[in-house]
Amino acid sequence: MPSREAEPRLAGLEIAGRRLASRLLLGTGGFQSFELLAAAIGASGTAVVTVALRRIDPAGRGSLIGVLDAAGVDVLPNTAGCHTARDAVLTARLAREAFATDWIKLEVIGDERTLLPDAVELLAAAEELVDDGFVVLPYTNDDPILARRLEDVGCAAVMPLGSPIGSGMGICNPYNITLICDRAGVPVILDAGIGTASDAALAIELGCDGVLCASAISRARDPAAMARAVALGVEAGELARAAGRIERRSHAVASTPEKGRPVL
């Protein structure tokens, strides 16, 4: 049996010159306690987790940052809830002060019902933030043209959705995700829509360089177990992609030779 080391591996995930220890990024939203969050971080093997910014509650300051420090993960702040480029840019600048990082997961949402990105505002915000020195990771539609435009303005990665945030519908348009991956010159991270481990495997098989997963893990009955499952899904997808899947055919191809079959 060949050793793991002998198996072909893809190049790891590197964003803006920084090598990440895992292809799986974890969203921290939805965990019912810091204990469950910490357990899921450990089980996921992730190196990067997302956080958001909201008006402070002086009476209820938690120790989220302490939990993340103890877990040894880097913080990727997001601009969740922003509807305009102006709000997103200001939120990114707040995040830079809050976390002393110029990395930003850029979200500019079109409406509350779908939480789909507003392409026009997203591109404007991305351009302004890149010009301001940010490492911009935009949450985007599964639109190959928009992904290319985001790359053209200098985004360090593109993060197309598989399906709407929190929907758990998986990858609704694998054809578009493949198109984005085929043409991208920056890492592609599948963001939003992951429902379970096999969705993460599919994302990597399609050509994504990483997966960002929140609700599928945080809202699972057993978040730590799902974190491990999704991490293994990512790894399985990586191995499968490197191994090279067979072509799809519309007819059967016998795996047992016909020659030598006895006449009975």
For residues 103-122, which are near other proteins according to CB under 8 A?
Answer: 105, 107
Rank residues 15 and 76 by Cβ distance to other proteins and give the closer one. 76
Rounded least distance, CB 28 to other proteins, Å:
4
User: Using CB under 8 A, which of 4, 55, 248, 251 touches other proteins?
Assistant: 55
Phi/psi of residue 210, nearest 5 degrees: -160, 175
What are the contacts of 176-180 at 24+ separation with CB within 8 A? 176/142, 176/143, 176/144, 177/142, 177/203, 177/206, 177/207, 177/208, 178/206, 178/207, 179/144, 180/142, 180/144, 180/147
Residues numbered 185-214 forming contacts with other proteins, rule: CB under 8 A: 212, 214
Among 16, 52, 153, 172, binds other proteins (CB under 8 A): 52
Q: Using the rule CB under 8 A, is 23 a contact of other proteins?
A: no
Residue number with CB closer to other proteins (83 or 93): 93
| 143's tokens | 């639109």
CB-based contact 40:27 (threshold 8 Å): no
Task: Decide whether 62 or 185 has the Cβ nearer to other proteins.
Answer: 62
CA distance between the termini of the chain: 37
Please check whether residue 160 is in contact with residue 184, taking contact to mean a CB–CB distance below 8 angstroms. no
Nearer to other proteins, 176 or 218 (CB): 218
Contact call for residue 95 and other proteins (CB under 8 A): yes
Give the C-alpha separation, 66 to 47, whole Å. Answer: 15
Report the site for other proteins in 160-189 (rule: CB under 8 A).
none
Q: Which residue among the candidates 105, 135, 158, 212 is catalytic per the annotation?
A: 105
- Respond yes or no: is residue 259 known to be catalytic: no
Is 46 among the residues that bind other proteins (CB under 8 A)? no
Distance CA 82, CA 98 (A): 17
Residues classed as catalytic: 105
Residues forming the site for other proteins (CB under 8 A): 27-31, 37, 50-58, 61-62, 64-65, 75-78, 80, 90, 93-99, 105, 107, 212, 214
